Structure 1
Amino acid sequence: MARTEHFNDPDAPRPNSLVVAASAVVTDDAGRILLQRRTDNGLYALPGGGMDLGESLPATAVREVREETGLDVEITGLVGMYTDPRHVIEYTNGEVRQQFNICFTARIVGGKLRISDESTDLRFIAPDEIDKLPMHHTQRLRLQHFMEQRERPYLG
């Protein structure tokens, strides 16, 4: 199922769902950031996805990283909360989601890097190389907030 992300687009369809989601900025020992190239839109993004019933948001981030990358991680902090109603995600099945994502920081504790059916590429990227990758504005915003090493998480 393909998806199109809209941001501050007056022609974007109106949202018809809200899905609580978690993502994670996973770093390696060299300080590089793990990104995946998504199969549904061809853009690079942080690993993440929707929360299941009976699951906490940190557990969602851990599960999504494992499912999408093969790596086991431990949550180490919070980058921010991203709920901007101007960001909607349109899927080809008719669903249009309003963004609701909590972005965590995480460190690798095990597993083996492997591509899932949700991505075509996985790579660790040096922070100064990220601007060269095709990526949606909202993913760049999360990464920018992470790299700023803020004292407090972003709330927006």
Structure 2
Amino acid sequence: MNYIQSLRNIIGTRPIIAPGSAIIVMKEKELLLQLRSDTNDWGIPGGGMEIGDSFEETAKKELFEETGLITNHLEILGLASGKEFYYKFPHGDEIYNATVIFKAGKVSGNLKKDEESRELAYFPLDSLPELNYTTQKILEKIGYIVVEEVENEVD
């Protein structure tokens, strides 16, 4: 049983702070995304930290488990935390993500889905599928996608 599941057994669905890592994998100008089995939407690979793990170890472990890819080259792109990274899962669990965002340099291995991934695919940054809320916010934070603000005209 993992750390988050252990907490959930004690506190149920109430909000928790969930430390973890998210990993950006680029192939040329395309971003690797996974169609997540738990939320049925597209997101970047990543997951929660286990007791005793570092953010880097978490990133490498999650990347391998969710995609089959291996890297020893991680660059920190930013941090994602606070109220805007609150998420309520479809089954009711509530979390406040505290995530280190990494970019994976050289990757090796072959793409391989696990039980958390329904599909893995690379997408051009200018034509991404509909993303889950957390991935959308992470990509905005690191400048990979830009949200166009609409100015209201005043009469």
Q: TM-score, normalised by structure 1?
A: 0.75
- Larger Rg, first or second structure (1 or 2): 2
Give the superposition deviation at 1:121. 0.9
Partner in structure 1 of residue 132 of structure 2: 136
How many residue pairs are counted as aligned between the two chains? 132
Q: TM-score, normalised by structure 2?
A: 0.75
CA distance in 2, matches of 1:81, 1:23: 10
CA contact (8 A) 1:15 1:88 kept: no
- Could you list the runs of 4 or more consecutive aligned residues of structure 1 that deviate by over 3 angstroms after TM superposition? 91-95
Give structure 2 stretches of 5+ with no counterpart.
Answer: 1-12, 146-155
Answer 1 or 2: which has greater strand percent.
1
CA RMSD of superposed structures (Å): 2.1
Alignment of 1:48-63 (within 5 A): 48-63=46-61
CA distance in 2, matches of 1:78, 1:116: 25
Give the superposition deviation at 1:41. 1.1
Partner in structure 2 of residue 151 of structure 1: none
CA contact (8 A) 1:27 1:108 kept: no
CA distance in 2, matches of 1:147, 1:94: 29
Give the superposition deviation at 1:48. 0.2
Q: For each residue in 1:102-147, what CA deviation from the matched residue of structure 2 results, as whole angstroms up to 9, or x when unmatched?
A: 11110243211011110111011111111xx121343123223253
CA distance in 2, matches of 1:40, 1:82: 21
Alignment of 1:16-35 (within 5 A): 16-28=15-27, 30-35=28-33
Give structure 1 stretches of 5+ with no counterpart.
Answer: 1-13, 149-156
CA distance in 2, matches of 1:77, 1:87: 21
